[in-house]
Structure 1
């Protein structure tokens, strides 16, 4: 049974829409939520004029903008809503290289929103860079908190021989990952509901994760990392992943860190967990300052900046140490 045959009726309608957009040459690079908001504010009094307005910028549109059969596909997928006589898609379509990914529309206010944005692009680049440096076979891989499935799909395309598992606690994320995997034509991706790795068995040659890392008062699943500054889930992923790495296997973690008084509390919490001759690891800042607007929110008064970091841990055995690189390192 192929990927498409596993989809429900709603998901098949989304898949057909994605194929249509691909054939029409649709492309959209998704910015940060703040940039998205600012650009849309320029067009607050106007309705969508193009499919990029509809599917990229999440703007309302008049019923006659798109072909009747395309509008019917949105209706069949149950992602079309009416607002004051206009229509709006509850999903967006974003480009990554030659792929399209469906994910939640803007704004992502719902608790089960499936996020895609600049973090997603950096996460994909991190995985690409790791795979270019790894020559050992990858038999089994897992993308923890898969969201739209980007990590799993990037691995599955690059390593067709690997069995790649995409796990999430959000049913909406798993549904959209199924659509995106079918659209990418990767047959080696399977889905499972799991809280980190506790609901799946076995060991992995590659574990990747791009978890939420904010302290979100609304505790939205795609955004809230838990703990004082959103670090709790990332630490839990490290703890569970270390025990599930096959010999020679690696954890590739992309996450954000709230820096306080010149210190990196996430790195300080990590180091005791990684003090073992079984593991070699590297840690570096990918971007020293992201989502600066979050410093205005409650709970971030002591935070100087939010950095995004890459942690790579490999189960290698004795004789390999740690490497810590900061944002200015080559």
Structure 2
């Protein structure tokens, strides 16, 4: 093994050691094992779900570079199964035309995994590593989901851009009276229903709504329906039949529409995962949107990813921003 290869193996082993608090937690088997440059491995993340390792590449690696990285992963951790995701900046444009190249359905190393169940804070989530670039759970939201579960007993929750309903499962586990999940994709909502059932939670199809989030927010506002907590966790970019969303451009518009359905004394949980949108700018956009809805936002509680598995550095700040506003 060359010196550079052995040093990469050592960096990967050190990254694993830094996650000891998570590795030793029997209630959580899903966490980030490598977070790019802060772990000494630029342009690479590795997420672990039980025995499954998902390696993501954020630039175009040569075949030799990919092979060297995967060999180092095998040497450092001896994983049972490794899946590979290629995420260059243009990946979102290529996702439909080059899906197999970006997110191979087959395992890159080790045994194939059609699906498995991973734990997060004692809750069970279904992971499907061959289903595309996203495998079923965004790990940087673990602490935010835990916070939500501790806040919603007896309350109503609206979960926007719900994906596989991680926030919905956490809210229901925390004793929420009702959770309404909204996403453009029926497929991921079905997945969310599976997650609920995995945790012994009742499933009412009326609370898993497929459609454009902005259309549904308008519909709910016209009906005068409100929620004690509204979670808005959009992708950085989203396109539906009737709208195109960009976090950099439309975060204020989303905050305005969401604030209109927050009950008096309720809370808006505004999220953004666009790395290039700076926290202060995001906060200003959220505040502007709430103001346009003729609501006053009190305080702004910051939440974010766990520093245990999402370390940062001056050149690699956290992409995720979560801000909780009280709306009197």
Corresponding residue for residue 180 of structure 2? 165
Instruction: Measure, in 1, the Cα distance between the counterparts of 2:170 and 2:142.
Output: 11
Instruction: Measure, in 2, the Cα distance between the counterparts of 1:117 and 1:179.
Output: 17
Query: Is residue 141–residue 164 contact of structure 1 (8 Å, CA) maintained in 2?
Result: yes
Q: How far did 1:269 drift?
A: 2.3
Instruction: Measure, in 1, the Cα distance between the counterparts of 2:173 and 2:199.
Output: 8
Q: Which runs of 5+ in 1 are unaligned?
A: 1-24, 60-80, 296-303, 317-330
User: How many residues of Structure 1 are paired with residues of Structure 2 in the alignment?
Assistant: 239
Match of 1:206 among 229, 234, 238: 229
Corresponding residue for residue 195 of structure 2? 180
Match of 1:97 among 96, 101, 121: 121
CA gap of 1:193–1:277, structure 2 versus 1, over 3 A, is closer
Instruction: Measure, in 2, the Cα distance between the counterparts of 1:107 and 1:291.
Output: 27
CA gap of 1:26–1:264, structure 2 versus 1, over 3 A, is closer
Instruction: Measure, in 1, the Cα distance between the counterparts of 2:125 and 2:138.
Output: 11
Instruction: Measure, in 2, the Cα distance between the counterparts of 1:267 and 1:27.
Output: 31
Match of 1:246 among 252, 255, 263: 263
Match of 2:72 among 16, 27, 42: 42
Q: How far did 1:90 drift?
A: 4.2
Instruction: Measure, in 2, the Cα distance between the counterparts of 1:255 and 1:241.
Output: 14
Query: Is residue 257–residue 264 contact of structure 1 (8 Å, CA) maintained in 2?
Result: no
CA gap of 1:263–1:92, structure 2 versus 1, over 3 A, is same
Q: Which runs of 5+ in 2 are unaligned?
A: 1-25, 36-43, 48-54, 57-68, 85-104
Deviations 1:176-218 (A, max 9, x none): 10100011111165311022252363322221133223x7xxx
Is 1:123 aligned to 2:163, yes or no?
no
Q: How far did 1:282 drift?
A: 2.8
Report the RMSD for the aligned CA atoms in angstroms.
Answer: 4.3
CA gap of 1:91–1:188, structure 2 versus 1, over 3 A, is closer
Q: How far did 1:88 drift?
A: 2.2
**TM-score with structure 2 length normalisation?**
0.57
Is 1:273 aligned to 2:296, yes or no?
no
- Please give the secondary structure, in 2, of the residue aligned with 1:89: coil
Instruction: Measure, in 2, the Cα distance between the counterparts of 1:107 and 1:129.
Output: 31
Query: Is residue 28–residue 94 contact of structure 1 (8 Å, CA) maintained in 2?
Result: yes
Query: Is residue 239–residue 245 contact of structure 2 (8 Å, CA) maintained in 1?
Result: no
Q: How far did 1:28 drift?
A: 2.3
**TM-score with structure 1 length normalisation?**
0.57
Match of 2:169 among 150, 153, 164: 153
Query: Is residue 27–residue 121 contact of structure 2 (8 Å, CA) maintained in 1?
Result: no
- Please give the secondary structure, in 2, of the residue aligned with 1:93: strand
CA gap of 1:191–1:291, structure 2 versus 1, over 3 A, is farther
Deviations 1:249-295 (A, max 9, x none): 221223335467x87221232333334774333335445996979x8
More helix by share: 2
Query: Is residue 58–residue 92 contact of structure 1 (8 Å, CA) maintained in 2?
Result: no
